[in-house]
Protein backbone atom coordinates (compact mmCIF):
# COMPACT_ATOMS: atom_id res chain seq x y z
CA UNK A 1 0.00 0.00 0.00
CA UNK A 2 1.13 3.50 -0.70
CA UNK A 3 2.11 5.38 2.45
CA UNK A 4 -0.29 8.06 3.56
CA UNK A 5 0.82 11.09 5.56
CA UNK A 6 -2.12 10.74 7.94
CA UNK A 7 -1.04 9.47 11.37
CA UNK A 8 -3.07 7.12 13.56
CA UNK A 9 -3.74 9.92 16.05
CA UNK A 10 -4.91 12.29 13.35
CA UNK A 11 -7.10 9.60 11.79
CA UNK A 12 -8.81 8.82 15.10
CA UNK A 13 -9.52 12.50 15.77
CA UNK A 14 -10.90 13.00 12.26
CA UNK A 15 -13.20 10.01 12.66
CA UNK A 16 -14.13 10.48 16.32
CA UNK A 17 -17.73 11.26 15.34
CA UNK A 18 -18.14 7.66 14.15
CA UNK A 19 -17.58 6.37 17.67
CA UNK A 20 -21.04 5.95 19.16
CA UNK A 21 -20.22 7.30 22.62
CA UNK A 22 -17.64 9.85 21.52
CA UNK A 23 -16.18 11.78 24.43
CA UNK A 24 -12.46 11.32 23.92
CA UNK A 25 -12.11 7.83 25.43
CA UNK A 26 -11.50 6.11 22.09
CA UNK A 27 -8.53 8.34 21.35
CA UNK A 28 -7.11 7.73 24.83
CA UNK A 29 -7.56 3.96 24.60
CA UNK A 30 -5.83 3.81 21.23
CA UNK A 31 -3.04 6.08 22.44
CA UNK A 32 -2.35 3.52 25.16
CA UNK A 33 -2.53 0.59 22.75
CA UNK A 34 -0.17 2.16 20.24
CA UNK A 35 2.30 3.06 23.01
CA UNK A 36 2.31 -0.49 24.39
CA UNK A 37 2.55 -1.89 20.85
CA UNK A 38 5.65 0.20 20.13
CA UNK A 39 7.30 -1.06 23.33
CA UNK A 40 6.51 -4.69 22.49
CA UNK A 41 7.59 -4.19 18.86
CA UNK A 42 10.95 -2.87 20.02
CA UNK A 43 11.44 -5.91 22.26
CA UNK A 44 10.34 -8.35 19.52
CA UNK A 45 12.90 -6.84 17.14
CA UNK A 46 15.62 -7.36 19.75
CA UNK A 47 14.76 -11.03 20.26
CA UNK A 48 17.96 -13.04 20.15
CA UNK A 49 20.01 -10.04 21.29
CA UNK A 50 18.42 -9.90 24.75
CA UNK A 51 17.10 -12.64 27.02
CA UNK A 52 13.51 -12.53 25.82
CA UNK A 53 13.10 -15.75 23.80
CA UNK A 54 12.18 -19.16 25.14
CA UNK A 55 9.84 -20.28 27.90
CA UNK A 56 9.60 -19.19 31.51
CA UNK A 57 8.94 -22.71 32.80
CA UNK A 58 5.34 -21.95 33.79
CA UNK A 59 1.89 -22.48 32.27
CA UNK A 60 -0.87 -19.91 31.83
CA UNK A 61 -4.51 -20.37 32.76
CA UNK A 62 -5.04 -22.22 29.46
CA UNK A 63 -2.50 -24.86 30.46
CA UNK A 64 -0.12 -23.64 27.75
CA UNK A 65 3.61 -23.09 28.26
CA UNK A 66 4.26 -19.40 28.80
CA UNK A 67 6.95 -17.75 26.72
CA UNK A 68 9.05 -14.92 28.16
CA UNK A 69 7.61 -12.53 25.62
CA UNK A 70 4.05 -13.58 26.60
CA UNK A 71 4.70 -12.41 30.14
CA UNK A 72 6.48 -9.25 29.02
CA UNK A 73 3.79 -8.19 26.53
CA UNK A 74 1.03 -8.91 29.04
CA UNK A 75 2.69 -6.72 31.68
CA UNK A 76 3.36 -3.90 29.22
CA UNK A 77 -0.23 -3.68 27.97
CA UNK A 78 -1.76 -4.02 31.44
CA UNK A 79 0.48 -1.42 33.05
CA UNK A 80 0.04 1.03 30.18
CA UNK A 81 -3.75 0.82 30.48
CA UNK A 82 -3.77 0.95 34.28
CA UNK A 83 -1.36 3.87 34.50
CA UNK A 84 -3.51 5.97 32.19
CA UNK A 85 -6.76 5.06 33.98
CA UNK A 86 -8.67 4.76 30.72
CA UNK A 87 -10.61 1.52 31.26
CA UNK A 88 -12.43 0.16 34.29
CA UNK A 89 -11.39 -3.45 33.70
CA UNK A 90 -8.97 -5.63 31.75
CA UNK A 91 -9.19 -9.31 30.86
CA UNK A 92 -6.18 -11.10 29.38
CA UNK A 93 -5.73 -14.57 27.99
CA UNK A 94 -2.68 -14.84 30.26
CA UNK A 95 -4.57 -14.08 33.49
CA UNK A 96 -6.86 -16.34 35.50
CA UNK A 97 -9.30 -13.58 36.45
CA UNK A 98 -10.17 -10.15 35.12
CA UNK A 99 -8.42 -7.10 36.54
CA UNK A 100 -10.41 -4.32 38.20
CA UNK A 101 -8.92 -0.90 37.49
CA UNK A 102 -9.89 1.14 40.52
CA UNK A 103 -8.75 4.57 39.35
CA UNK A 104 -7.55 7.46 41.47
CA UNK A 105 -11.09 8.27 42.63
CA UNK A 106 -13.45 6.01 44.56
CA UNK A 107 -14.93 3.45 42.22
CA UNK A 108 -14.25 3.94 38.55
CA UNK A 109 -15.92 6.41 36.22
CA UNK A 110 -14.42 4.91 33.06
CA UNK A 111 -16.94 3.33 30.73
CA UNK A 112 -14.98 0.64 28.90
CA UNK A 113 -13.41 -2.77 29.43
CA UNK A 114 -10.64 -4.19 27.29
CA UNK A 115 -9.98 -7.85 26.53
CA UNK A 116 -6.77 -9.02 24.88
CA UNK A 117 -4.43 -11.72 23.77
CA UNK A 118 -1.21 -9.79 24.44
CA UNK A 119 1.02 -11.95 22.25
CA UNK A 120 -0.60 -14.54 20.02
CA UNK A 121 1.73 -17.12 18.48
CA UNK A 122 4.62 -16.25 20.79
CA UNK A 123 6.38 -19.57 20.16
CA UNK A 124 7.10 -18.18 16.67
CA UNK A 125 9.51 -15.67 18.21
CA UNK A 126 12.20 -18.32 18.60
CA UNK A 127 12.19 -18.92 14.82
CA UNK A 128 11.82 -15.25 13.80
CA UNK A 129 8.26 -15.66 12.48
CA UNK A 130 5.39 -13.19 12.81
CA UNK A 131 3.36 -12.77 16.00
CA UNK A 132 0.59 -10.41 17.04
CA UNK A 133 -1.51 -8.72 19.71
CA UNK A 134 -5.32 -8.94 19.56
CA UNK A 135 -7.68 -6.67 21.49
CA UNK A 136 -11.36 -5.93 21.92
CA UNK A 137 -13.23 -3.05 23.60
CA UNK A 138 -16.72 -3.14 25.13
CA UNK A 139 -18.83 -0.55 26.87
CA UNK A 140 -19.42 -1.66 30.46
CA UNK A 141 -22.96 -2.71 31.42
CA UNK A 142 -22.50 -2.26 35.18
CA UNK A 143 -23.13 1.10 36.79
CA UNK A 144 -20.42 3.71 36.22
CA UNK A 145 -18.60 4.49 39.44
CA UNK A 146 -18.84 0.94 40.77
CA UNK A 147 -16.24 -1.86 40.44
CA UNK A 148 -16.31 -3.74 37.16
CA UNK A 149 -18.16 -7.08 37.14
CA UNK A 150 -17.77 -10.37 35.28
CA UNK A 151 -20.90 -9.54 33.25
CA UNK A 152 -19.07 -6.54 31.76
CA UNK A 153 -16.75 -8.99 30.00
CA UNK A 154 -19.27 -11.73 29.13
CA UNK A 155 -20.91 -9.83 26.29
CA UNK A 156 -21.53 -11.15 22.76
CA UNK A 157 -19.26 -9.91 19.99
CA UNK A 158 -22.07 -7.81 18.57
CA UNK A 159 -21.61 -5.48 21.57
CA UNK A 160 -18.00 -4.63 20.69
CA UNK A 161 -17.33 -0.94 20.14
CA UNK A 162 -13.79 -1.46 18.83
CA UNK A 163 -11.41 -4.28 18.01
CA UNK A 164 -8.02 -4.64 16.42
CA UNK A 165 -4.73 -6.42 16.15
CA UNK A 166 -1.08 -5.46 16.00
CA UNK A 167 1.09 -7.51 13.66
CA UNK A 168 4.80 -7.74 14.49
CA UNK A 169 6.38 -8.92 11.26
CA UNK A 170 8.60 -7.42 8.58
CA UNK A 171 6.94 -4.21 9.74
CA UNK A 172 4.67 -3.43 12.69
CA UNK A 173 1.08 -2.90 11.55
CA UNK A 174 -1.92 -1.89 13.67
CA UNK A 175 -5.34 -2.70 12.19
CA UNK A 176 -8.60 -1.69 13.86
CA UNK A 177 -12.31 -1.10 13.45
CA UNK A 178 -14.97 0.78 15.40
CA UNK A 179 -17.77 -0.57 13.25
CA UNK A 180 -17.17 1.81 10.34
CA UNK A 181 -14.78 -0.16 8.15
CA UNK A 182 -11.24 -1.39 8.72
CA UNK A 183 -8.02 0.61 8.45
CA UNK A 184 -4.39 -0.36 8.91
CA UNK A 185 -1.42 1.72 10.07
CA UNK A 186 2.26 0.91 9.70
CA UNK A 187 4.84 1.97 12.27
CA UNK A 188 7.74 4.12 11.08
CA UNK A 189 10.32 2.97 13.65
CA UNK A 190 12.63 5.90 12.92
CA UNK A 191 10.19 8.36 14.47
CA UNK A 192 7.85 6.03 16.37
CA UNK A 193 4.70 7.05 14.50
CA UNK A 194 1.96 4.92 12.92
CA UNK A 195 0.89 6.10 9.44
CA UNK A 196 -2.21 5.10 7.48
CA UNK A 197 -0.99 2.45 5.04
CA UNK A 198 -4.02 0.20 4.46
CA UNK A 199 -7.10 2.45 4.12
CA UNK A 200 -10.59 0.92 3.89
CA UNK A 201 -9.41 -2.68 3.91
CA UNK A 202 -11.69 -5.11 2.06
CA UNK A 203 -11.40 -8.87 1.91
CA UNK A 204 -12.22 -10.47 -1.48
CA UNK A 205 -15.52 -12.39 -1.43
CA UNK A 206 -13.62 -15.41 -2.75
CA UNK A 207 -10.06 -16.59 -2.39
CA UNK A 208 -7.63 -19.39 -3.15
CA UNK A 209 -5.95 -19.77 0.25
CA UNK A 210 -6.96 -22.05 3.11
CA UNK A 211 -5.20 -21.76 6.46
CA UNK A 212 -5.34 -24.74 8.80
CA UNK A 213 -2.97 -26.93 10.80
CA UNK A 214 -3.25 -30.00 8.59
CA UNK A 215 -1.09 -31.96 11.04
CA UNK A 216 -4.27 -32.35 13.08
CA UNK A 217 -6.28 -33.66 10.11
CA UNK A 218 -6.90 -37.07 11.67
CA UNK A 219 -8.51 -35.38 14.69
CA UNK A 220 -10.85 -33.08 12.71
CA UNK A 221 -14.63 -33.61 12.31
CA UNK A 222 -15.89 -35.15 9.09
CA UNK A 223 -17.15 -31.87 7.62
CA UNK A 224 -13.70 -30.24 7.84
CA UNK A 225 -11.94 -33.30 6.46
CA UNK A 226 -14.30 -33.17 3.47
CA UNK A 227 -13.72 -29.44 3.02
CA UNK A 228 -9.93 -29.89 3.05
CA UNK A 229 -10.25 -32.59 0.38
CA UNK A 230 -12.40 -30.17 -1.63
CA UNK A 231 -9.65 -27.52 -1.34
CA UNK A 232 -7.10 -30.03 -2.64
CA UNK A 233 -9.17 -31.29 -5.57
CA UNK A 234 -7.95 -30.24 -9.00
CA UNK A 235 -10.89 -28.52 -10.65
CA UNK A 236 -11.32 -25.01 -12.14
CA UNK A 237 -9.64 -22.62 -9.65
CA UNK A 238 -8.56 -25.45 -7.37
CA UNK A 239 -6.50 -26.86 -5.76
CA UNK A 240 -6.24 -23.99 -3.32
CA UNK A 241 -2.96 -22.91 -1.75
CA UNK A 242 -2.30 -23.94 1.84
CA UNK A 243 -0.79 -21.16 3.98
CA UNK A 244 -0.56 -21.43 7.77
CA UNK A 245 1.74 -19.40 10.02
CA UNK A 246 0.41 -20.63 13.35
CA UNK A 247 -0.26 -17.12 14.65
CA UNK A 248 -3.80 -15.80 14.28
CA UNK A 249 -3.11 -12.13 13.49
CA UNK A 250 -0.70 -12.75 10.58
CA UNK A 251 -2.86 -15.57 9.19
CA UNK A 252 -5.99 -13.40 9.22
CA UNK A 253 -4.09 -10.34 7.94
CA UNK A 254 -2.83 -12.23 4.91
CA UNK A 255 -6.26 -13.60 4.09
CA UNK A 256 -7.92 -10.18 4.40
CA UNK A 257 -5.49 -8.80 1.85
CA UNK A 258 -5.33 -11.77 -0.54
CA UNK A 259 -8.61 -13.58 0.05
CA UNK A 260 -8.83 -16.86 1.91
CA UNK A 261 -10.33 -18.79 4.80
CA UNK A 262 -8.91 -19.55 8.25
CA UNK A 263 -10.00 -22.80 9.90
CA UNK A 264 -9.63 -23.84 13.53
CA UNK A 265 -12.25 -26.55 14.12
CA UNK A 266 -13.03 -28.73 17.08
CA UNK A 267 -11.02 -31.93 17.24
CA UNK A 268 -10.77 -35.10 19.28
CA UNK A 269 -7.97 -33.34 21.18
CA UNK A 270 -9.94 -30.10 21.67
CA UNK A 271 -13.64 -31.04 21.59
CA UNK A 272 -14.75 -27.46 22.33
CA UNK A 273 -12.22 -25.88 19.99
CA UNK A 274 -8.95 -24.26 21.00
CA UNK A 275 -9.25 -20.55 20.22
CA UNK A 276 -10.69 -18.24 22.87
CA UNK A 277 -14.03 -16.65 22.03
CA UNK A 278 -13.43 -13.37 23.89
CA UNK A 279 -9.74 -12.77 23.19
CA UNK A 280 -9.35 -14.09 19.65
CA UNK A 281 -12.56 -15.07 17.85
CA UNK A 282 -14.80 -12.08 18.62
CA UNK A 283 -12.29 -9.33 17.79
CA UNK A 284 -11.17 -11.06 14.60
CA UNK A 285 -14.79 -11.71 13.61
CA UNK A 286 -15.63 -8.02 14.10
CA UNK A 287 -12.68 -6.96 11.94
CA UNK A 288 -13.33 -9.48 9.17
CA UNK A 289 -17.05 -8.69 9.03
CA UNK A 290 -16.27 -4.98 8.81
CA UNK A 291 -13.91 -5.80 5.93
CA UNK A 292 -16.76 -7.57 4.11
CA UNK A 293 -16.01 -11.13 5.21
CA UNK A 294 -17.67 -13.69 7.44
CA UNK A 295 -16.91 -15.48 10.73
CA UNK A 296 -18.66 -18.64 11.89
CA UNK A 297 -18.42 -21.51 14.36
CA UNK A 298 -19.34 -23.80 11.49
CA UNK A 299 -23.08 -23.34 11.82
CA UNK A 300 -23.78 -19.85 13.12
CA UNK A 301 -22.35 -16.34 13.42
CA UNK A 302 -19.49 -16.10 15.93
CA UNK A 303 -20.45 -12.64 17.19
CA UNK A 304 -23.92 -13.78 18.25
CA UNK A 305 -22.59 -16.36 20.73
CA UNK A 306 -23.35 -15.31 24.31
CA UNK A 307 -20.26 -16.22 26.38
CA UNK A 308 -20.68 -17.95 29.73
CA UNK A 309 -17.09 -17.94 30.96
CA UNK A 310 -14.03 -15.73 30.65
CA UNK A 311 -11.81 -18.26 28.88
CA UNK A 312 -14.47 -19.94 26.75
CA UNK A 313 -13.27 -21.73 23.63
CA UNK A 314 -15.03 -22.31 20.34
CA UNK A 315 -14.40 -23.53 16.77
CA UNK A 316 -13.57 -20.70 14.38
CA UNK A 317 -13.90 -20.26 10.62
CA UNK A 318 -13.17 -16.83 9.26
CA UNK A 319 -12.41 -15.11 5.96
CA UNK A 320 -13.82 -14.56 2.48
CA UNK A 321 -17.60 -14.89 2.70
CA UNK A 322 -18.04 -17.41 -0.12
CA UNK A 323 -15.35 -19.64 1.34
CA UNK A 324 -16.87 -19.58 4.84
CA UNK A 325 -20.26 -20.36 3.28
CA UNK A 326 -18.71 -23.41 1.65
CA UNK A 327 -17.23 -24.55 4.98
CA UNK A 328 -20.69 -24.28 6.56
CA UNK A 329 -22.16 -26.31 3.67
CA UNK A 330 -19.72 -29.15 4.34
CA UNK A 331 -20.31 -28.98 8.10
CA UNK A 332 -24.09 -29.14 7.64
CA UNK A 333 -23.85 -31.98 5.12
CA UNK A 334 -21.72 -34.00 7.54
CA UNK A 335 -24.17 -33.31 10.37
CA UNK A 336 -27.20 -34.33 8.31
CA UNK A 337 -25.48 -37.51 7.08
CA UNK A 338 -25.50 -38.79 10.67
CA UNK A 339 -29.29 -38.89 10.70
Distance, in Å, from the CA atom of 180 to the CA atom of 202, rounded to the nearest integer, reads: 12
| φ, ψ (nearest 5 deg) of residue 115 | -115, 145
Q: In this predicted structure, what is the pLDDT of residue 51?
A: 47
Q: Are 225 and 153 in a shared domain?
A: no
Q: Are 24 and 168 in a shared domain?
A: yes
Q: Is 112 annotated as a binding residue?
A: no
Q: In this predicted structure, what is the pLDDT of residue 339?
A: 64
Q: Is 26 annotated as a binding residue?
A: no
Q: In this predicted structure, what is the pLDDT of residue 307?
A: 98
Segments forming the whole domain that contains residue 218:
209-336
CA dihedral angle for residue 36, residue 91, residue 324, residue 196, rounded to 10 degrees: -20
Distance, in Å, from the CA atom of 142 to the CA atom of 150, rounded to the nearest integer, reads: 9
Q: Is 195 annotated as a binding residue?
A: no
Distance, in Å, from the CA atom of 228 to the CA atom of 276, rounded to the nearest integer, reads: 23
Measure Cα distances from 329 to 21, 300, 336 in Å.
39, 12, 11
Cis peptide before 239 (omega within 30 of 0): yes
Q: Are 153 and 217 in a shared domain?
A: no
- Residue 204 within a domain: no
Q: Are 178 and 213 in a shared domain?
A: no
Residues 6+ apart with CB under 8 A from 277: 157, 302, 305, 307, 312, 313, 314
- Residue 310 within a domain: yes
Q: Are 178 and 228 in a shared domain?
A: no
Q: In this predicted structure, what is the pLDDT of residue 70?
A: 86
Q: Are 72 and 180 in a shared domain?
A: yes
Q: Is 197 annotated as a binding residue?
A: no
Q: Are 222 and 160 in a shared domain?
A: no
CATH of the domain at 88: 3.30.540.10
Q: In this predicted structure, what is the pLDDT of residue 2?
A: 46
Q: Is 120 annotated as a binding residue?
A: yes
CATH of the domain at 243: 3.40.190.80
Q: Is 121 annotated as a binding residue?
A: yes
Q: Is 171 annotated as a binding residue?
A: no
- Could you list the pLDDT tens digit for every one of the 339 residues in the chain? 444 589 998 998 888 776 666 567 878 899 999 999 999 998 887 755 444 454 544 555 555 556 688 889 999 999 999 998 889 999 999 999 999 998 655 557 889 999 999 999 877 777 778 899 999 999 999 999 899 999 999 999 999 999 999 999 889 999 999 999 999 999 999 999 999 999 999 999 999 999 999 999 999 999 999 999 999 999 988 999 999 999 999 999 999 999 999 999 999 999 999 999 999 999 999 999 999 999 999 999 999 999 999 999 999 999 999 999 999 999 999 999 876
Q: Which of 164, 198, 232 delimits the end of a domain?
A: 198
Q: Are 243 and 281 in a shared domain?
A: yes
pTM for this prediction: 0.92
Residues 6+ apart with CB under 8 A from 262: 211, 212, 248, 251, 252, 255, 316, 317, 318, 319
Q: Is 247 annotated as a binding residue?
A: no
Q: In this predicted structure, what is the pLDDT of residue 122?
A: 75
Q: Is 227 annotated as a binding residue?
A: no
Q: In this predicted structure, what is the pLDDT of residue 1?
A: 43
Q: Is 263 annotated as a binding residue?
A: yes
Q: Is 264 annotated as a binding residue?
A: yes
* CB neighbours of residue 238 within 10 Å: 12
CA dihedral angle for residue 40, residue 175, residue 114, residue 81, rounded to 10 degrees: 40
Q: Are 193 and 284 in a shared domain?
A: no
- Residue 2 within a domain: no
Q: Is 176 annotated as a binding residue?
A: no
Q: Is 274 annotated as a binding residue?
A: yes
Q: How far apart are the first and last CA of the chain?
A: 50
Q: Is 157 annotated as a binding residue?
A: no
Q: How many domains does the chain have?
A: 2
Amino acid sequence: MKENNLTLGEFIIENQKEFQYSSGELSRIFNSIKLAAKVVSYKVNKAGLVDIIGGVGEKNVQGEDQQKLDVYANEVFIQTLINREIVCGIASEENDEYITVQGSDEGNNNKYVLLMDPLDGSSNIDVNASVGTIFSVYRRISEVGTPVTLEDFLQPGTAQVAAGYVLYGTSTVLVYTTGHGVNGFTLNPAIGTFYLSHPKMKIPVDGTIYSVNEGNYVHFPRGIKDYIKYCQTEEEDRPYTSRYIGSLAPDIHRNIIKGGVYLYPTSTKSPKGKLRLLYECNPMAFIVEQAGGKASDGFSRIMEIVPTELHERCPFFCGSSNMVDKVEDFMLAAKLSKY
